[in-house]
Structure 1
Amino acid sequence: MTSTITLEPLTAEAFKPYGDVIATADRDYFMINNGSTRRYHQLANVDTEGGSAIISIFQATPLVYPLSVTMMERHPLGSQAFIPLLGNAYLILVAAPTRDLNSDRLDSQTIRGFISDGSQGVNYHKGVWHHPILALTDQDQFLVVDRAGSGNNCEEVHFSDAETRVLEIPVSRL
């Protein structure tokens, strides 16, 4: 029997167990460049175990909704940040972090769903289970900051039919 994942607004407080919300709203800043630029300093930290931080652009196409969530992934050797470039809303699915990075255990009932308003990025902390990118707009683009280097930095877990969750999107969200 599958259960439904409910979407909630993306807030720094709700997302804190999984990582950082990258946004300027309600954040402190200081002026630089002779007073012409606001610097919202250190909104997230890049965490790389060995290797180095890299910047990429991902171009994503929406999946079919309602979505049967049959897998999640994590990056045990580094954080991974997604920053929307085109200002479109997108979805985020995360699950309770596994304390033991050597364990692939994941309880699909701990999956939480968030919706970004398009001005918010996310930085998944090292080892946090998440679903691959969930665009809502065709050919959406994201600046991605993650780790390059030796070692396996992408692990996937696939659910049995009994563990599968369904993500439905209310029409008002599209």
Structure 2
Amino acid sequence: MEKIPALPARRGAMSGLAELIECTGEPDKLINKGLCGRFHDLAELDIVDGKPGISLFKSEIFSLPFRLEMMERHPLGSQAFIPMSDEGFLVVLAEDENGRPGMPRAFVTAPGQAVNIGRNVWHGVLTPLGGSGLFAVVDRVSDGPNLEEHWFDTAFEVVKG
């Protein structure tokens, strides 16, 4: 089984596949009499033929090493995963290679980081590594289908980087 190291999620590391959402540097604006900093417009929603919606996902907790057997993508909309606990989560991404995922890359977010996975980007399942497993997800809401899955002939093992 081929091993994939899970590296720390850093700005630019997921470039072209996903946007890292985090509060870094100074806020764009202070609100509420200076008691709250607003970090404004940190990710771009990309929705086709539907509307943006906010859902809550409740996942089982996983650990590393993680067996990666399948990846999925959503051709009609990006997906932002925002943890509702102060724990990191595993993000596995891959470029498209002729309608299937290329070599997966793995990242572990730090507490306070979220990820907006681009429209039509191959990614692993929601994989919290601790906390409650509760996430707010901002993505496309519609009655039509928006999911493609690819099951690998041979699974990968995602390990600490």
Equivalent of residue 138 in structure 2, options 134, 145, 154: 145
Count how many residue pairs are aligned between Structure 1 and Structure 2. 161
Residue matched to 2:78: 79
Residue 104 (structure 1) shift: 2.6
Residue 66 (structure 1) shift: 2.9
Residue 159 (structure 1) shift: 0.9
> Secondary structure of 1:70's partner?
strand
Residue matched to 1:16: 15
What is the CA deviation profile of residues 104-159 of structure 1, one whole-angstrom value per residue up to 9, with x for unaligned ones?
Answer: 3222xx21110011210000010110001011126421111011114321110111
Map 1:30-45 onto structure 2 (within 5 A): 30-45=29-44
Residue 28 (structure 1) shift: 4.6
Residue 50 (structure 1) shift: 1.3
Map 1:1-174 onto structure 2 (within 5 A): 2-26=1-25, 28-63=27-62, 65-97=64-96, 104-107=99-102, 110-137=103-130, 139-161=132-154, 164-169=155-160
What is the CA deviation profile of residues 29-86 of structure 1, one whole-angstrom value per residue up to 9, with x for unaligned ones?
Answer: 1223443432111000111101111111111112464332111000100000001111
> Secondary structure of 2:49's partner?
coil
Structure 2 contact 82–135 (Cα < 8 Å) conserved: yes
> Secondary structure of 1:160's partner?
strand
* Structural RMSD (CA): 1.9
Rate the CA distance shift 1:31–1:97 in 2: closer, same or farther, 3 A. farther
Percent identity, please. 33
Residue 93 (structure 1) shift: 0.5
Q: Tell me the TM-score normalised to structure 1 length.
A: 0.84
Looking at secondary structure, tell me which structure has more strand per residue: 2
Structure 1 contact 5–166 (Cα < 8 Å) conserved: yes
Rate the CA distance shift 1:131–1:30 in 2: closer, same or farther, 3 A. same
